Structure formats: structure tokens, C-alpha cells
Structure 1
């Protein structure tokens, strides 16, 4: 079920996205209104045309009745009746009370005067029984018959079906709306793609500019640390070592931003070693009330880019730390599914947990439950995992007990380079 409280919170935090969704709904309702109006008007036209064809069928039936019932009428009048009847173009069949076909009009001319034997034109049938039976069955389903009462007391039944023009008019609005819908879907997809490309170019430009701007102060800091090390060489050197590690970390961060929009290379690395190196760096800079445990296969290898993959682990560990209130534990378990040639990296915490309704939403750009969060961390993490041709998802989570994220990588990956 959808968590209403989190949805309302998301709308308040991101009014632009909410307004965008509102406009989409309004446009959809407007399009549905146009479609409904088009269908109603088409149905109105179809009903009127159907009434007109019913009138034509009745006139044809009456003219046929006149010809049959008044054989001795003046030839000029009979000619007029024939002219009236023949001017009414409508597929129709007349049957007697025994359901035998007496007259027909505007049916397939190739189905009349059929030879009884192939290549024999000396003995002919008036019509093809199979074809006419099928046509009669269709006409009976289409409209109720028109009754002709003859002077002899006999009753004939006139059956007809819609003209080709009316049949096309019935399906035309659906065909028209389908084509319009296809066009709108294609146009929407193309415009969205163009807009996303433009936004990506902006973000890529900003990321590269940030990396460029970080370059100068990082170089200065390296010089100042070296100068301080020389000046205070008798003091605790561990402090300077940690400062250098932080500066190198800044270099890595700057390098990450410079790689956005480009195609970094992958190398075959031991997953456990890469994760362990970052965990050792990260846990020193985290509360001592939170413990870290790295377990699992220490030898499995995968194609990784260290700078990008560290970023993935960093984002997940930061989320885990933020989810833990007070004391807690973070467990990273690395395992391999040999049968499927997959590597599993499970990152579990003992934090507050994620509602089931948010398991998919947390990877959407802008979604966050924190007051000051931008909601880009997990979205960017997912993109970087995709860059490694892997998957990431919430494996399990329970409110008040914790969450486990799972990353799946291919152990036999043949790398096809893509952009981050």
C-alpha cells in the first residue's frame, strides 16, 4: 500500500514535481475529454447514417413490393419504380417465409451464376449457396428484418447490412485516436529525451566545473600540509597522515566529478579488498557508537572502477549511518552465486528501516525523508551501479530493525563502456 504520509511529505518538499504531475493529470483529462467528444460525435453521425440506410432499405422493400404486386401497372410508372429501387445502393437479401432467398442486390457479382461443374457454363446456379448463407447470417445479426406483406398473404423478409462507408465510419474514430495517441507518445518521448539530454549536459558541465574549482585549493592544501609536517616534524605525525588521507580523498572526489559524462575504465579487482580499504577510511570518521563488520568471500573478483565504486559504497554507508539513531551496526557481506556467475554485496544496518511503499521511490531523483536532503544520493548510486552493468535494490527492510541493500555484479563481465 502507498504510504500517504510519506507521499504528502514528498509533495511538500518538492512542489515543482507535484505541480508537474498535476499538469500531466490535467492534460491527460483534457485529452480524454477530446477523445470522448470525438467518439460521441462519431456515434451521433453513425446513428443518423444508420437511420438513413434503414430508410433506404424500407424504400427498396416498398419498391420491390410494388413491382411484384402490381404487374399490370403502366410501364412508365414501373420504370419509375425500377429507377427508384436501383438508385438505392445497399447490400440486401429478400427471403420468403421458408427462409429461401428470392432477391438480392449489391453483393459479390462473382458469387452469382456459378457453374455446377468446373469449366461448364451450360448448367448454372443463380448464386453460391455458401456465400449467400454467410451474408444472410451477417445481415440477420446487423438489423431486424423489414416485412413485405404481399396481396397473396405471403410475407417476405428484407435483410440488409451497413454500407462500406458506414462500416468505415464506425471504426474511423478509433483508428484516428489510436494514430493521435501513437503520435503523442512518440512526441512526448522525443521531447523528454531532448529535455533530459539538455539537463544532463547542464549537470555534466556543473560537475566538471566543480572538479576544476576544487583542483586549486586541493593543491594548496597539499603544500600547506607538507610545510606543516616539516615545521612541526617533532610533533605527532599521525595527525598529518590523516590530513593527507583527507586531501587525497578530496582529490578522489574531484576526480569523480571530472569523470561524470565521460567513460572511465574498469579493471579486474578483488571486491573484498576494494570495499575493505574504503571501510577502513570511513569508520575512523564515523561515530564510535557504530561498529562495522566486513565478512564473506575475500577472493572474488569483478570489473570495477575504484573511484566510482568507492562512491557507491560511500553513499550506502552514509545512508546506513544516517538511519542509525545512537548505537548500531553495519554489516557488509560479499558472496558469490557461482551458478549464475553473480557477486552479491549486501550492506545491512540496524537503523530505522524503510516503509515497503518507499522501496522503489527511494531511487527516484529528489526523493528524501531527511529535512535537508537533496534526494540525489541513491539515484546517483543506482546510475553508477548500472555503469558497472549491475543492479541495486532493497533486499529487505523492517521498521525499527534495519535495512539491507543488495548490489549484484557479474563475475565474468565483459565490459562494454558507457557514460556515468
Structure 2
């Protein structure tokens, strides 16, 4: 079983266990809440009965009421007459209670939370006991919300942990493959250089030998590019215009005549901190994608301009276009719309521009059936 399958199973188990635990705690909390609420209601009923019994015995003392009150001192209550006028209150802030508006607000809250308890005196006179949840019960009400927040944070930590492990594993695999590719290319390259030297002594046309040398040099560039993946490349102050034009010229000379190329720049020199080989790789990837999108027929254009701080490189084509929903997805490893392809070109380009060169690369605009424009933003070199 692969690492990714293991982490996926562990993630699902952790999430399932977390949901079960939180569900049990929420159920118990709800049960406690109902129990406490019922208990407080029972206390209020006893309190009302005590007042009613004492009132029926005109010569009686309020010892019973006092004793009952001692048991409910944590439950705020208000006593009103039949007309709703406040007669008495208990367990409220004594200073704030001097303000009648405060008492009215408390009474309104009590009416919303619980049904009043009716007290009937001799002569059918009535009074009502209103009460609200105690502070303890109020805190218990918010406990499930706090628990859900804790669960959310817990799941977020689990997600980030597994995601970081997955990314680290992908980066390790990617780096290993890149360096192994560079190593494998290096062996035949050395042999080819020897064969070129022999060809030069055999009176072979310089034109043919020169083309072979160019392709060998190209293979050496590719090997160097792969060898730099996974390590921090060296950046130097370079002319972004000339480097872009170099990659552009190489692909133009090797592309179909049915594709029209155009290159323009507002200035001849626009310097940025660049790694020549990796930056050229990005430009080539964008041009190759443009050619694939046009299926070998159309036009590719590159325009370079700048503002006070940044260099802007726009690569446009007249291909099939990209749906807006895929503008960000196309930069993810493995995503491709081609029948043949690994979906690494744009992902690698994004990593080179944003991670290594601290720039930006994104889809500037795209229309289905009309074409796509990618833009690269780089900071100018001082």
C-alpha cells in the first residue's frame, strides 16, 4: 500500500473518531442542559408554592420562603402582578436593578426563555414568577459551540499535517526523479561530445556538425535544468528581454511553418534577478503549451513591457482556450487536458517563477475557441 493510501486511510479514521467523540460530548451536554433546566424549573415551582402557602396563612412567618430562597439564589427571577407590574426581583445585579429599564429588559428575556409560574392568593388574586437560565446554564449553552470550534481547529491541524507530509513526499519524489534524469542524460552526452570531435576530423560538412553541436548543447542545458530542481538556484542580474528572445528563437526555428510568431518589447533591456536556464525553461513551456493548444496552426505572440517596479511578460496564443474554472487548476501537479502528458509543465513553471524568482505567473485572460494569455511578473533588478 502506497504512502498516499496510508495517509488517506489514517485521515479518514482520525476524522471519524473525532466526529464520534464530539457527537457523544454534544449529546451528553444536551442531556445535562435539559436536566439542569428541568431542575431550575422545579425550584421555581417550589418557590412559588412556598409564597402561595405562606400567603394563605395570614399569621404565618416567611421562614419557609426564606429557606427555599436559599436554595435558588443562583437563579434570577422577577415577581409581577396580574398587570405585569414588577413587585419584586431576586438574584439580579442590585446596582443595575435600580434602573427600571434594566428590570424590563431582564423581564423580557425571562419571558422569552421560560413560561411564568402562576401564584394564586385568597380572593383569586394572581402573581407570576418569571425566571431565566442561571449563569451556569447560560455558559453550558455556549459549550457546544466552543467544542465545535475546537473540533474544527483539530481537524485543520490534522489536514495541514497530512497535507504537508504529502507535499514533502511529492517534492522528494520530484527532486529525486529530476536529479536522476540529469544523471542519466549526462552519460550519453559525454559520448556524443566525443563523436562530434571524430566527425570534425572526417571532413563532414560544418553545417551538419554545427546542428548536432546545437542539439547536444540543448541536451546539456536540459540536464542542467533538471539538476537544479530541489536546490536553490543561483540568481544573477540578467536581461529578461534577451533571455526571453533566446528561448523564443529556439522554438520558432523548430516549429511548423503554419504557426506565426511575433515578438515585441517596449525596451531592449529590462534587468531582473534570474537563473538563465530555469527562466528559459518557463518561456519554452509556455510557448510549447501554446503550440499544443493551437494543434499546430495559429499564432503565438510575446510582448514585454514594464512599470516602475515590475517587468511584465505576456505570452498569448490563438488556441482552444481555458475555462475560467481551470485558471488555478492548470498549475497543479498532474493536471492536464492533453491525452498524452504528465501535467508538470505549468506546475514546474509556477514553482520556478514564484518560489525561485519571487515573481508571479497566472492566466491573464482566456476565451474558449479564441485563445489564452499567460502573464509573468518579475521584480526589476536595481
Q: If the TM-score is normalised by the length of the shorter chain, which range does it land in?
A: 0.7 to 0.9
* Map 1:129-148 → 2, pairs under 5 A: 129=99, 132-148=103-119
Counterpart pick for 2:250 among 257, 264, 281: 281
User: Equivalent residue for 1:94?
Assistant: 79
Q: Which residue matches 1:397?
A: 366
CA distance in structure 2 between the aligned counterparts of 1:403 and 1:111, rounded to whole angstroms: 71
Residue matched to 1:245: 214
1:333 is the counterpart of 2:303: yes
**Aligned partner of residue 272 in structure 2, secondary structure:** strand
Aligned to 1:214: 185
Could you tell me how far apart the structure 2 residues matched to 1:182 and 1:406 are? Answer: 37
Are residues 307 and 61 of structure 1, via their aligned partners in 2, closer, same or farther at CA, if it must alter by over 3 Å?
same
1:50 matched to 2:37? The reply is: yes
Question: Given the alignment of the two structures, is residue 60 of structure 1 paired with residue 55 of structure 2, yes or no?
Answer: no
Distance 1:220 1:350, change over 3 A: same
Per-residue deviation, residues 302-359 of structure 1 (Å, max 9, x unmatched):
2211001011011111111111224322111111123xx2211111122222223322
Asked if residue 198 in structure 1 is aligned to residue 183 in structure 2, the reply is no
Query: Does the Cα contact within 8 Å between 2:79 and 2:86 map onto a contact in 1?
Result: yes
Distance 2:148 2:375 in 1: 44
Contact 2:239/2:269, CA 8 A, preserved across alignment: yes
Q: Say which SS state the counterpart of residue 321 (structure 2) adopts.
A: coil
Structure 2 CA distance for aligned equivalents of residues 98 and 350 of structure 1: 81
* 1:381 aligned onto 2:332: no
Look up the match of 1:362: 330
- Report the equivalent of 1:105: 90
Equivalent residue, structure 2, for 1:115: none
CA RMSD of superposed structures (Å): 3.2
Q: State the Cα deviation string for residues 80-101 of structure 1 (Å, max 9, x = none).
A: 6654453344322223346554
The equivalent of 2:135 in structure 1 is 164
Q: Is the 8 A contact 1:63 1:82 kept in 2?
A: no
User: Are 1:300 and 2:270 counterparts?
Assistant: yes
Contact 2:47 2:65 (8 Å CA) reproduced: no
Deviates more, 1:327-336 or 1:131-140: 131-140
> How far apart are the structure 1 equivalents of 2:265 and 2:10?
49
- Separation in 1, partners of 2:9, 2:256: 43
Q: Which moved more, 1:29-38 or 1:276-285?
A: 29-38
- Structure 1 residue 129, shift from structure 2 partner: 4.2
8 A Cα contact 2:110 2:131, kept in partner? yes
What corresponds to 1:316 in structure 2?
A: 286
2:231 partner SS:
coil
SS at match of 2:358: coil
Is 1:372 aligned to residue 343 of structure 2? Answer: no
Alignment match of 2:315 (pick from 325, 329, 347): 347
CA distance in 2, matches of 1:326, 1:194: 40
* Compared CA separation, residues 349 and 97, structure 1 to 2 (3 A): same
Evaluate the alpha carbon distance shift between residue 404 and residue 24 of structure 1 in structure 2; reply closer, same or farther with a 3 A threshold: farther
Q: Are the aligned partners of 1:362 and 1:378 in contact in 2 as well (CA < 8 Å)?
A: yes
Give SS of 1:248's match: helix
TM-score by structure 2 length?
0.86
**Alignment partner, residue 267 of structure 1:** 236
For residues 247 and 208 of structure 2, the distance between their equivalents in structure 1, rounded to whole angstroms, comes to 19
Question: Which blocks of at least 5 consecutive residues in structure 2 are unaligned?
Answer: none
**Change in 2 beyond 3 A, CA 1:26/1:373:** farther
Give the distance between the partners of 1:278 and 1:408, measured in 2 at CA: 17
- In 2 relative to 1, CA 148–331 (structure 1 residues): closer, same or farther, beyond 3 Å? same
Structure 1 residue 273: Cα displacement = 1.0
Cα distance in 2 for residues equivalent to 1:286 and 1:25: 49
- Verify the 8 A CA contact 2:22 2:151 in the aligned structure 1: no
Is the CA contact (8 Å cut-off) linking 2:265 and 2:305 kept in structure 1?
yes
